[in-house]
Structure 1
Amino acid sequence: MLHNDIQAHMDVVGADDLPVGTVDRLDGDHIMLARTGPEAGGRHHLVPLAWVEEVDDKVRLSLLSDDAMAQWQATEP
């Protein structure tokens, strides 16, 4: 399964190849993104593993980057 290939510090990009964030760790059936990236605004965000289309040198989502960021779950600060 693809989630076995997902590692900390990998870039996460949308279907448009634009950045969504950086993997902090896996959290159940979600990827927790690092809160330090410019897209994160100082908060962790959760992206469902169901959105993962492909994993190579990056985690590639099936959604466009703007759509992914509009729908991700923010964690408490």
Structure 2
Amino acid sequence: MADLSNIKEHAEVIGADGVHVGTVDRVEGDRIKLTKKDSGAEVEGAEPSHAGHHHYIDGGLVAEVEGDTVRLSANADVAVTFETEEDGSAI
């Protein structure tokens, strides 16, 4: 797992395939909180009914952090299936 302390607010989160997954709101513990507006709901395979609220990405999916970009170890369509709600429950 990459060092999550290097993740900046409003950094772009992309899958291993380079596809946009979301935008960082902030890091909370070992998870990345995505912004409500841009929380992966537009990625093919994501459930549109889950738009409009925060989603979380497990820090274990982070492959690397480069400046304002967080690259995940999974392709975007797979990564969104691992997103969780605030309470940690699956989406």
TM-score w.r.t. length of structure 2: 0.76
Q: Where do 5+ consecutive residues of structure 1 fail to align? A: none
Quote the Cα distance in structure 1 between the aligned partners of 2:14 and 2:75: 8
Aligned residues, how many? Answer: 76
Task: Please give the residue correspondences for 1:1-77 in structure 2 after superposition, counting only pairs within 5 Å.
Answer: 2-37=3-38, 39-40=40-41, 41-57=51-67, 58-75=69-86
Hey, which of these two has a bigger chunk of strand by percent?
1
Q: Counterparts of 2:26 and 2:39 in 1: how far apart (Å)?
A: 18
Q: Provide the TM-score with structure 1 as the length reference.
A: 0.88
Distance in 2 (alpha carbons) for counterparts of 1:3 and 1:39: 19
Q: Looking at CA atoms only, which structure, 1 or 2, has the larger radius of gyration?
A: 2
Dislocated runs of 4+, deviation >6 Å: none
Identity percentage over the alignment? 38
Deviation at 1:39, TM superposition (A): 2.9
